[in-house]
Chains A and B, each alone.
Chain A
Amino acid sequence: GQQLNQSPQSMFIQEGEDVSMNCTSSSIFNTWLWYKQDPGEGPVLLIALYKAGELTSNGRLTAQFGITRKDSFLNISASIPSDVGIYFCAGHSRSNYQLIWGAGTKLIIKP
């Protein structure tokens, strides 16, 4: 099935560093969602984006809906240990009833 291209696949970072990840699609989406999955838990919604160009923040997290409507970015500023986990992007288009999911970005903080 169709998947989003999410990168990077994993990241090793130092506490306090900023983090960036992105998702790209070959088709246009009208909704972008970013989820975080803590170890042993289900994904939890972080940010939802509904308009091209939209920039939305949730604490230290900022996400943008790309102008082309084919990509989205998530930034985390000043990372802390509880940021570890897997971050998923998901998109929705009018031609597709279901959400399309990225494969996830695993964030690991170096001790």
Chain B
Amino acid sequence: NAGVTQTPKFQVLKTGQSMTLQCAQDMNHEYMSWYRQDPGMGLRLIHYSVGAGITDQGEVPNGYNVSRSTTEDFPLRLLSAAPSQTSVYFCASSVAGGASGANVLTFGAGSRLTVL
């Protein structure tokens, strides 16, 4: 059972380039989310989805786009990378989110992005 799979694990971009971080889960979880982790700041929510076809913004959505065409996949797109987006990105999923569940998240192993 793979759980939450993120690719790539490492990526270096130049300012202005675009890329997509991939996330896939095989647990039939309805809720999926993207976080970024920066030193001393913990985990900050970028975007989330409560089911296929539904996405919403988190705490730090600027510069990122998401889509959820299937239950399994939740890609994160950087349209024009900036040095401020240098970070470690985590995808996480759960059976349900918000008040209907305890938000017990299963995390991927992370994608380390450097923007020069």
Contacts and interface: CB of A to CB of B under 8 A. Distances in A.
A15 B114 CA distance: 35
B115 interface: no
Contacts, number: 58
Contact of A98 (B58, B108, B110): B58
Chain B contact residues, majority secondary structure: loop
Contact of B42 (A42, A92, A94, A101): A101
Contact of A42 (B41, B90, B97): B90
Nearest to A43: B107
B53 interface: no
Given A3-B42, A88-B43, A103-B41, A97 B97 contact: yes
Interface of A: 1, 3, 6, 9, 31, 33, 40-45, 48, 50, 88, 90, 92, 94, 97-99, 101-104
Interface residues of B, number: 24
A33 B104 CA distance: 8
